[in-house]
Amino acid sequence: MRILIKNAQIVDKGNDLIAGEFWLEDDIIYAIGQNFEKQTITFDKVYDVKNAVVIPGLIDVHVHFRKPGFEYKETMQTGSLAAAHGGFTQVCAMPNANPTPDNPEQMQKILAKIKQDAVVKVHQYAPITKNRESETDLVNFSALKKAGAWNFSNDGSGIQTADTMYRAMVEAAKVDKAIVAHAEDNSLLNGGVMHAGKRAKKLKIPEILSVVESSQVARDLILAQSAGCHYHVCHISTKETVQLIREAKKAKVCVTCEVTPHHLLLTDEDIKTDNAVWKMNPPLPSRADQEALIEGLLDGTIDMIATDHAPHAKAEKNTDFVNGAFGIVGLEQAFSLMYTQFVEKGIFTLEKLISLMSTNPAKIFKMTGGNLQIGKPADIAVMNLDHEYVIDAKDFKSKGHNTPFLGWKVKGDTMLTLVDGKLAWSKSLLTISSEMNF
């Protein structure tokens, strides 16, 4: 199919925009230029985006699609449509499913379901240990790689034993895969559910010390250096972790990391009541931690933004901290929140935001996409940067509505998402129903 995207704007340098058109041929970007229609070329479909901005499809290396076993929270269909709604063309699904994909057979079942139901590219993690629970039994890294595992993570649980983590890193290095770690030392956790600080004490909510995260990151950095493994740290949240990773990079340790929009935009000071909508793991940080996270983004210590999209049923969040589930949905709001709160305010540029949410993840994890280049896959998002809207659960495509960002005014609305040139999302529901196949 030959497609034209016309009346588009393209990010040139920083926040500068230039006019342009995209000629898509089947699943690739065939040409970028202007006035293709005047060249007597016949297009099967023309998208007039009316001066909206065309960017490379966003990439999220950390989502939870709850498939299989927890479909009441999310499905591959609803999760991937939420991703497309947010401008994401590639996402990486964590393995905390039931059953978990800890063997080739189960991995292939999940990949088959992805192929059947997903409207964006979904890469599936395998766990590090059997059933994502064992502290001794590693999965078969080689067999799972052959079966299609993207990388390896026990997200939701930290690896408590140094020997287990070291052996996992050695095996991951052998198959050229990353260990993607949820850093959490259970021996320091003591039932905590909220960042240790004045607000937790005031609300009488059990506290999580910053060292729960940073102490395990410190251990793992030493292990990764010895094992020669790519070590990626999920959702970092403390100033100590930022500094540890900064120093490790200087020492040439192969470490990368991500931060979430909610850790960049919210702190424990925003929590006014004992309400689990604010319950996240790691917890919302202190103001000092948040400032360190932003500094880490600006100086390159933090490589990318990932949402940790974690949908839950209403009853699981409509309760107090101790009894509520950890997590927040994020795919549908991430770009708008980051654009409004950081680019619009001049903290960093649109070009930087695209790097953090697309280019860097693609480069670091050796993925296709992350740029708008001729001959590359036509993974494209079109954003209306001028349109202001209010985040409203009724607009969500995800089953989960658990987010404290409801009611926030933002800019950067997704107008169109194409995956390999095929329509995954459009503001026109009529267009979606005619072109999407579930």
Measured at the alpha carbon of residue 118, what is the angle toward residues 116 and 121, in degrees to the nearest 5?
A: 115
Cβ neighbours for 112, distance < 8 A, ≥ 6 positions apart: none
Do the beta carbons of residue 409 and residue 389 sit within 8 Å? Answer: yes
Is beta strand 207-208 parallel, antiparallel or unpaired with respect to 194-195?
parallel
Q: Which 3 state secondary structure label does DSSP give 338?
A: helix
Q: Under CATH, domain 2-54+376-435 is a member of which superfamily?
A: Urease, subunit C, domain 1 (2.30.40.10)
Do the beta carbons of residue 328 and residue 310 sit within 8 Å? Answer: yes
pLDDT of residue 39: 81
Kindly list the domain boundaries of the chain, sorted by start residue: 2-54+376-435, 58-335
pLDDT of residue 73: 96
pLDDT of residue 432: 36
Q: Which 3 state secondary structure label does DSSP give 72?
A: coil
- Four-residue CA torsion sign, 427, 430, 435, 438: positive
Q: Tell me the C-alpha distance between 8 and 12, whole Å.
A: 12
HSE of 82 in the Cβ direction (CA atoms, 13 Å)? 31
Q: Tell me the C-alpha distance between 427 and 432, whole Å.
A: 8
pLDDT of residue 40: 78
The pTM is what? 0.95
- Four-residue CA torsion sign, 202, 206, 211, 217: negative
Q: Tell me the C-alpha distance between 312 and 96, whole Å.
A: 14
Q: Tell me the C-alpha distance between 79 and 64, whole Å.
A: 8
pLDDT of residue 68: 87
pLDDT of residue 136: 83
Catalytic residues: 308
Is beta strand 179-181 parallel, antiparallel or unpaired with respect to 231-233?
parallel
Do the beta carbons of residue 37 and residue 44 sit within 8 Å? Answer: no
pLDDT of residue 428: 65
Q: Tell me the C-alpha distance between 246 and 155, whole Å.
A: 22
pLDDT beneath 50, residues of the chain: 429-438
Does the structural domain 58-335 have CATH classification 2.60.120.10? no
